[in-house]
Homo-oligomer: A and B are copies of this chain.
Amino acid sequence: MRQVAIGIDIGGTNTAIGVVDREGNVLYEKQPQLPTPQKRENPYAKIDKSDELCTNYIAALSDEVRVAIETVKNINPDLQVMGIGIGAPNANYYRGTIEFAANLPFVGVVQLADLLQAKLPEINIIKVTNDANAAALGELIYGGGIGMHNFVMITLGTGLGSGIIVNGDLVYGQDGFAGELGHVTIIPEGRACGCGGKGHLETYCSATGIKRSVFEMLAKNNNSESLLANIPFNDMTAKMVYDAAEKGDPIALEVFEYSGELLGRSLADTVHYLSPEAIFLFGGAAAAGDYIFKPTKESMERYLLPVYRNKVQILPSKLKEGSAAIVGASALVWKELDKISS
């Protein structure tokens, strides 16, 4: 009997739902994705768990899980669904909750795993974690982390997320929230962070951070020749910076050098904490390839204690950008089965 897991990724706009086998192949993915409930016009009028919007969302989610199961079983009746893994912002693995998520409309704490379990009593495993942790598990179970016991996953998107694997398992910490490397201080009193802090890693090295660096460099160098000098702040993307770098644009090249210098210094700190075998980079900014990997690697090596030098690989994630979210979430199920059987 072929075993499969259901992966769910709850994003700010949409919720992706898919069925994944033990090798990471996506057998089914709901299209179009299920809309995630949106904030109301008054952003303070959040959605209570007793609220119709929350109830309806959980009902729709469980309906879509049933559709997914039926669809794959119609193709292969021998499939056995082993459980559901869910990636979501501010998700808590220990409690199965989403807690105070700034980008979701729910009030306080949503008992996601319990609510879904009540709708789907036949499912044995329902586990929840944040999206970067899910990506790290995906890398461990299906990707470049197969066979590794200690590595760190860095997701470079709008923000900068991370998941830490130590001794073959995710580091959740005392409360299920460990691994927020986007919010370590990299430049004391530096750029304003969305969290209210200053100088955090994600304000420099996420896709948004790269954009901010372009405008800082333009301000510093007054370079009107740059291909990036004609694009408004709100239109600029990390992809545009990459395209400009490909054409030799000096601002774009300087921005990648600068981002790599800072990311490398921060990853040297990561190595001083954890001494991992590898650090995987995932997401849009990581797609810039050598423009970001080369200066990051050089910088990290420069800041490492001698005992760690030339031991830690910085690698692109092997997860596919399009399916990584549901594939990563589904990995929670296999990890849980490993724990039960060990």
Contact = CB atoms under 8 A, between A and B. Distances in A.
A40 B277 CA distance: 37
Interface string A148-169: 0110000000000000101101
B178 A275 contact: yes
B183 A275 contact: no
A76 to B, nearest CB: 37
Contact of A307 (B99, B270, B305): B99
A174 B277 contact: yes
A173 interface: yes
A150 B174 contact: yes
A307 B180 CA distance: 11
A184 B90 contact: no
Contact of A195 (B175, B177, B305): B305
A172 interface: yes
B185 A307 contact: no
A205 interface: no
A310 to B, nearest CB: 11
Nearest to A175: B275
B269 A184 contact: yes
B184 A273 contact: yes
A303 B197 contact: yes
Interface string A303-314: 101111001100
B187 A188 contact: yes
A28 interface: no
Contacts of A166: 166-167, 171, 173
Given A179-B275, A183-B305, 13 more contacts: A90-B307, A99-B307, A164-B274, A166-B167, A166-B171, A173-B276, A174-B311, A176-B275, A177-B275, A184-B269, A185-B303, A197-B305, A270-B273
